[in-house]
Amino acid sequence: AALPAPDTAGLAAVLKSAVAQGAPGALARVDDRGRAHLVTRGVADRATGRALSTDDRFRVGSVTKTFSAVVLLQLVDEHRLVLDAPVNRYLPGLLPDDRITVRHVLGHRSGLYDYTNDMFASSVSGFEAVRTKVFTYRQLVALSLKKPRTNAPGAAYAYSNTNFVVAGLLIEKLTGQSVRTAYRNRIIEPLKLADTFYVHPDTAIPGRYARGYLTPDTAGAPLVDATAQTVSWAQSAGAIISSARDLDVFYSALLKGRLMSAARLAEMERFTPVNSTTAYGLGLRRRDLSCGVSVYGHTGAVQGYYTYAFGTKDGSRSLTAMANTSNNGKVLDTLAGALESAFCGKR
Ligand SMILES: CC1(C)S[C@@H]2[C@H](NC(=O)CCCC[C@H](NC(=O)C[NH3+])C(=O)[O-])C(=O)N2[C@H]1C(=O)[O-]
């Protein structure tokens, strides 16, 4: 059944609320069978007052996880990786349990502890301690292995950045290239994503971008400009830079089956329930909306930026929404309303 038209007035209301709740700016871009609907609110830069534009680049956080999953699923198509093989077959001795498979890692069912729980327990000081740091993947895995696993391999869903750091190690081992090269050769160049970059460990965002502002834990404390950071604490789990247009193109192409075989896309879309309205596949979230439409994509939370990037199953409509703040649960929840406006239309 055809979707109702995107509710651009509803999108504007969502962005207005997000700004009222503390985001300096917010944007939404709906790509509906090639027709773009653009809505913005507030500023890209608090110092200059420059208005936020849907052309501005930004850090996408865990939307990066879908890019990493795409590369690994392409390697499965190329018979260079087996999803149900132990990670240790490809990276001997990396993990303390040979039962942890590649599929467990991509579906957040490995039980590997998420080291960011400790790293960012105190939001601003935790961020300041790592914002210029450069970690190796193995240093991050070692941080995780200091803590007990959260579950037996495959026994439960437990979101963990560690899983997609392991994904980065797998990409580099199996392709013999950096993740930067793998993203560029396999996704960015084929889809002509002109605003999408992996610049780790560089701290600058290329070209024109929105500045990102971290909300402190202490109510009323001033926002912290978090724009410049290595994002080395995340890398293949969260360090991609992109734009609303490029993420709309990426998820539409993925969901239209342009990035991997139909069999592999079906594997990516085998979902484990997370709660009553969301489920997780392989580097891909499914969100079930109030109007009965399910959308597929990923969310992102990196210091200074919240992102929602989702599309319909057939890829005919995609939405990217972004607010340039983080550590603000009200804004994160409000921004989810953009999905309802984009895919369910006027209420
Ligand atoms: C599950 C999420 C929301 S969190 C996960 C990942 N981001 C992180 O793990 C970073 C967490 C610290 C970010 C920081 N928060 C704190 O410091 C809190 N003390 C802030 O808000 O700037 C990402 O991105 N994912 C989102 C996802 O996948 O949707």
Ligand 1 contact via 227 beta carbon (within 6 Å): no
Ligand 1 contact via 307 beta carbon (within 6 Å): no
Q: What is the ipTM of this complex?
A: 0.98
Virtual torsion, Cα 245, 249, 251, 257, nearest 10 deg: 180
Please give the pLDDT value at position 13.
Answer: 98
User: Measuring from atom 21 of ligand 1, which residue has the nearest CA?
Assistant: 327
> Pairing state of beta strands 35-42 and 25-32?
antiparallel
Check pLDDT > 90 for residue 112.
Answer: yes
pLDDT digits (tens, 9 = 90+) for 251-271: 999 999 999 999 999 999 999
Cα Rg for the chain, rounded, in angstroms?
19
Ligand 1 contact via 128 beta carbon (within 6 Å): no
Q: Give mean pLDDT, residues 284-289.
A: 98
CA of 161 to the centre of ligand 1 (A): 9
**Percent share of the chain, pLDDT over 90:** 99
Can you give the pTM of this predicted structure? 0.99
Q: What is the DSSP code (8-state) at residue 236?
A: G
With beta carbons less than 8 A apart as the criterion, state whether 239 and 64 touch: yes
CA of 78 to the centre of ligand 1 (A): 33
Check pLDDT > 80 for residue 316.
Answer: yes
With beta carbons less than 8 A apart as the criterion, state whether 163 and 115 touch: no
Please give the pLDDT value at position 2.
Answer: 86
Tell me which of 143, 232, 303 to substitute to probe ligand 1's pocket, judged by most ligand atoms within 8 Å of the beta carbon: 303
| Residue 62 annotated in active site | yes
Please give the pLDDT value at position 27.
Answer: 99
pLDDT digits (tens, 9 = 90+) for 32-51: 999 999 999 999 999 999 99
CA of 136 to the centre of ligand 1 (A): 20
With beta carbons less than 8 A apart as the criterion, state whether 164 and 236 touch: yes
pLDDT digits (tens, 9 = 90+) for 134-164: 999 999 999 999 999 999 999 999 999 999 9
Residue recorded with tokens 């105190």: 122
With beta carbons less than 8 A apart as the criterion, state whether 144 and 112 touch: yes
Structure tokens at 278: 């969301």
- Kindly give the residue spans of alpha helices, DSSP state H, lying in the chain: 8-20, 64-77, 87-90, 102-106, 116-119, 123-130, 137-145, 161-175, 179-183, 244-255, 262-268, 329-335, 337-344
Check pLDDT > 80 for residue 8.
Answer: yes
Structure tokens at 131: 């914002």
Check pLDDT > 80 for residue 1.
Answer: no
Please give the pLDDT value at position 347.
Answer: 84
> Among the options 17, 53, 62, 276, which is catalytic?
62
Measured distance CA(164)–CA(67) in Å, rounded = 10
**Ligand 1 atom with the shortest distance to the CA of 120:** 17
State the average pLDDT for the chain. 98
How far CA 192 is from CA of 36, 157, 246, in Å, comes to 17, 34, 8
